[in-house]
């Protein structure tokens, strides 16, 4: 089920950005800033760093909108990939420099530990992306059970569905979410953001 064509909005946005239309940049920000910033924040746990990633990602899109290939997925997933890449770079630098500050200039953190940090930050950010993109009925069920601590019977009542259905939604929602933990193959972009082929 590859997407053959990106939605019209994506293509038109790409054209408008390529034309150098500042109003298009504003619209792009309005649509994706929350995604970019929260994803960067989830990975870096630092407000200023998330701001910087946001600036960098939008600058990349604005400077080079042609880099977006609609055949490879939505603009949203592309922006999420750029954000992920920027955040990973920044995370590596941050971990390395804080390690060096603690253990002396030439000290480098254990590469495995560094990779573990990157992986867990990636999974966390990917989980947010999956939650934000999953079908609303699944998300609502998870919100009720997790945020509001409703049991599945109450969740069913809140949503006006059968208890069977509530159980099913909770399980499906978690199954989807669990894919965030999947380890990406070497060199492949992480699942959840679309994949280049």
Partner 1 sequence: MSGDGRASEGGEEEVRGARRIPGPRGAVDDLDLESVPRPLLPPPGPAAPDEAVPEQSAAEPPGPAAPERAGPEPSGPEDSGPEDAGPRDPGPEDAGPEQADPEDAGPAQAGPAQAGPAQAGPEQLAPHPFAPHPATPDQATPEPLMTSAPGTGLSHRVLQALLGAWALSACSAEETAAVEDHLTECAPCADEALRLRDAVGLLHTDGSLDLDPTLRSRVMDGCLGRRPARIPVPEHAAPYDAETARLDALLRDIGDSEWHAPVRLRWFEEEREVSRRTTVAGVIGHLTAVDGLLSAALGLDDPLGRGETPQDPIERTERYWSAAQRPPTRTVREPWRAQSHELIRTASFAGRNVAEASVSYGAFALPLQDALLDRAFECWVHGGDIADAVDYPYQAPAAAHLHRMIDLAARLLPAAVAGRRRAGLAGPAKELVTAGAPGRSVHLEIEGHGGGDWFIALDSPAALGSPERAVAQVALDGVEFCRLAAGHISPVEAAAGQEGDREAIRDVLFATASLSRL
Binding to partner 1, residues 136-195 (CB under 8 A): 136-140, 142-152, 155, 158-161, 164-185, 191-195
- Taking only Cα atoms into account, the Rg of the chain, rounded to an integer number of angstroms, comes to 19
- Find the helix packing angle between 152-159 and 163-178, rounded to 10°: 110
With respect to partner 1, which residue has the nearer C-beta, 94 or 132?
132
User: Which region among 86-94, 102-110, 111-119, 122-130 touches partner 1 (by CB under 8 A)?
Assistant: 122-130
Q: What's the min distance (Å) between Cβ of 66 and partner 1? A: 12
> Cα separations (Å) of 92 from 4, 42, 67, 102, 186?
35, 15, 24, 15, 17
Quick check: 119 binds partner 1 (CB under 8 A)?
no
Task: Give yes or no for a contact between 129 and 80, defined as CB atoms under 8 angstroms apart.
Answer: yes
Element (H, E) at 79: helix 75-103
Contact region with partner 1 (CB under 8 A), list: 3-11, 89-97, 101-109, 110-118 = 3-11
Size of the site for partner 1 (CB under 8 A): 98
Q: What is the sign of the dihedral through the CA atoms of 21, 23, 25 and 28?
A: negative
User: Using the rule CB under 8 A, is 2 a contact of partner 1?
Assistant: yes
Identified binder of partner 1 from the candidate list 37, 92, 117, 119, rule CB under 8 A: 37
C-beta closer to partner 1: residue 98 or 181: 181
């Amino acid at each position: 089920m590859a997407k053959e064509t990106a939605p019209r909005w994506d293509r038109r946005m790409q054209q408008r950005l390529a034309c150098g239309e500042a109003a298009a940049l504003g619209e792009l920000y309005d649509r994706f800033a929350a995604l970019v910033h929260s994803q960067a924040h989830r990975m870096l746990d630092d407000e200023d760093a998330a701001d910087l990633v946001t600036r960098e990602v939008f600058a990349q899109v604005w400077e080079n909108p042609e880099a977006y290939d609609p055949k490879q997925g939505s603009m949203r997933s592309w922006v999420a990939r750029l954000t992920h890449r920027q955040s990973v770079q920044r995370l590596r630098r941050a971990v390395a420099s804080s390690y060096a500050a603690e253990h002396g200039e030439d000290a480098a953190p254990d590469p495995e530990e560094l990779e573990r940090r990157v992986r867990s930050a990636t999974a966390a950010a990917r989980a947010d992306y999956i939650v934000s993109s999953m079908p609303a009925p699944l998300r609502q069920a998870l919100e009720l059970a997790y945020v509001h601590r409703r049991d599945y019977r109450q969740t069913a009542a809140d949503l006006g569905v059968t208890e069977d259905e509530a159980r099913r939604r909770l399980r499906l929602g978690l199954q989807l979410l669990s894919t965030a933990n999947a380890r990406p193959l070497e060199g492949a972009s992480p699942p959840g953001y679309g994949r280049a082929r």
